[in-house]
Amino acid sequence: MGRISAALCAALLALAPFSARADAQRAAHADAPRPPLRVGTSGDYAPFSSGGQGFDVDAARLVADALGRELVLVPFRWPELSERVMRDDFDLVMSGVTWRPERAVIGRMSLAVAVGGPCWIGPTSPKSVAVNRGGVLESFARAHFPAARIEAVDANQTLPARLARGEVEAIVTDSFELGAFARVGQPTHCEPARDRKVWWVTPAHAAELGPALDPLVRQREPQLAKLREKWFGGPQRQDEADHLVDLVARRFALMPAVGAWKREHERPIEDTAQEARVLEAVRQRAIDLGLDPAALRDLFALEIELSKRIQARAANGDWKPDLDTQLRPKLAELSDRQIESIALAAPIEARALDEATLEPLNELLEPVEVAELAAALSRIR
């Protein structure tokens, strides 16, 4: 964690729900009944949630304890998850949920608590593939193996048996679940670790609970690190530089949808008035937090330029959110969270921006663009 100015300390104390002031407020209302914390869990995804155990099951206990609420685990099936999030069947979901742009505009997603990538067990180019239905891995399987027969199954834990019986040539999993699924004599293949695992707050609770999770993730990092060791079989770093790059990558991941909306509505990619408003707000925020306003403005100017490039070269997809009601509010939220992360991380040493930390940016940026962005981040003071 880098230097923190007096102004930043005051700002973070005002924001942090677990500060001494918040503790005093909770003590003053100790007699008031608090509703249980309803946490969605799939129960079929080791090592996050399987048979009532896992990383996110243990983490849910940490969150409930920090909030002073009783924990209630609510089961769900992956194909129904988005619908149930919208229906307010939970307060939040903690079950190895992967951050994706189409999910991110619904409610609010925490800082990343783990990072991994999709894998498959079987030949390099299988003719038939089984995968869990309704999640990010099904989308990966269909995109990565367009010529294969895809068998989407509801019982994720049956995948290894289907492979062993020869019903399919390969099964899709990820780097977390691989240890539970791998079989002797079967080759394994993994993509780069770009998938960030998060906790998903439902829309009805996003304003109240959502902002509480970022400081909680930071404050409980020692406990979360121990849980990663326990459930993932080894350490996995999640420091402020990792959070910062992740938040930048999230903004870029929304840009293909922004570009698609602009093309559909015959709007130019460049919006100089909006860009000027964003950059002025960034400059003012830098002053408030004791950061170098010129360096922070330069960073966001670069992000805007890279965002326009992504919009221009991205193909239109099936997901078509509205720019004004869905995308811009989420982009504004991510900008605020990014600036808070910069204030905590600055000054960022170049060695902190290593290959693993920068990997999420490679999904949409060229290598030279990643290097340019890393250099701009390291200039923040």
- 224-254 pLDDT per residue, tens: 999 999 999 888 889 999 999 999 999 999 9
Tokens for 331? Answer: 């982009």
> Which is it for the CA torsion 190, 195, 200, 203, positive or negative?
negative
Within a domain: 19:
no
CA angle 96, 17, 38 (to 5 degrees): 40
Within a domain: 9:
no
Within a domain: 1:
no
Same domain (yes/no): 211, 74:
yes
Within a domain: 282:
yes
Which own/partner pairs from 82-88 qualify as long-range (CB within 8 Å, at least 24 positions apart)? 82/106, 84/40, 85/40, 85/200, 85/202, 85/203, 86/202, 86/203, 88/202, 88/203, 88/204, 88/205
Instruction: Report the distance separating Cα 228 and Cα 189, nearest Å.
Output: 22
**Dmax of the chain from CA atoms?**
63
Q: Which of 169, 100, 162 is nearest to 134 (CA)?
A: 100
Contact 195, 116 (CB under 8 A): yes
DSSP conformation letters of 41-106? E-SEETTTEETTBSHHHHHHHHHHHHHT--EEEEE--GGGHHHHHHTTS-SEEEEEEEP-HHHHTS
Within a domain: 42:
yes
- 17-43 pLDDT per residue, tens: 444 444 444 444 455 678 999 999 999
Same domain (yes/no): 220, 185:
no
Same domain (yes/no): 264, 364:
yes
Within a domain: 11:
no
Query: DSSP alpha helices (H): ranges in 238-292?
Result: 240-253, 255-264, 272-288
> Which is it for the CA torsion 286, 106, 97, 136, positive or negative?
negative
How would you classify the pairing of strands 149-153 and 188-190?
Answer: unpaired
Within a domain: 255:
yes
Instruction: Report the distance separating Cα 140 and Cα 133, nearest Å.
Output: 11
Within a domain: 16:
no
Same domain (yes/no): 82, 208:
yes
* Domain total in the chain: 3
Same domain (yes/no): 246, 109:
no
Structural domain boundaries enclosing 276:
241-378
Question: Which percentage of the chain shows pLDDT scores above 90?
Answer: 80
Rg of the chain (C-alpha set):
21
Residue that the structure tokens 């038939």 belong to: 128
CA angle 18, 345, 206 (to 5 degrees): 45
Same domain (yes/no): 286, 344:
yes
CA angle 4, 8, 210 (to 5 degrees): 115
Same domain (yes/no): 260, 339:
yes
Which pLDDT tens digits describe the chain residue by residue (381 residues)?
A: 443 444 344 434 344 444 444 444 444 445 567 899 999 999 999 999 998 999 999 999 999 999 999 999 999 999 999 999 999 999 999 999 999 999 999 999 999 999 999 999 999 999 999 999 988 999 999 999 999 999 999 988 899 999 999 999 999 999 998 877 866 568 999 999 999 999 999 999 999 999 999 999 999 999 999 999 999 988 888 999 999 999 999 999 999 999 999 999 999 999 999 999 999 999 999 999 999 999 999 999 999 999 999 999 988 888 999 999 999 999 999 999 999 999 999 998 888 999 999 999 999 999 999 999 999 999 988
